Amino acid sequence: MTKIDGPGISVHLEAVTKIYSVSGEELPALRGVSLSIGGGESVAIVGSSGSGKSTLLHLMGLLDRPTSGSLSFGDRRVDTLSATDRAVLRNRSIGFIFQNFQLIPRTSALENVEMPLLYRGLPARERREHARDLLASVGMGDRERHTSSQLSGGQQQRVAIARAIAGSPGLLLADEPTGNLDSRSASTILDLLLSLRDRFKTTLVLVTHDMEVARHLSRTIRVRDGQLEASS
Q: What is the pTM of this model?
A: 0.90
Type of residue at 169 = P
Q: What is the pLDDT of residue 144?
A: 95
- Which of 201, 147, 186 has the alpha carbon at shortest distance from 10? 201
Question: Nearest-CA neighbor of 156 among 117, 102, 81?
Answer: 102
Measured distance CA(88)–CA(108) in Å, rounded: 25
- Which residue numbers in the chain have pLDDT < 70? 1-6, 230-232
The sign of the dihedral angle between the CA atoms of 58, 59, 60, 61 is: positive
pLDDT for 117-160, tens place per residue?
888 888 999 999 999 999 999 999 999 999 999 999 999 999 99
Reduce the DSSP state of residue 86 to 3 states and report it. helix
**What pLDDT, on the 0 to 100 scale, is given for residue 2?**
47
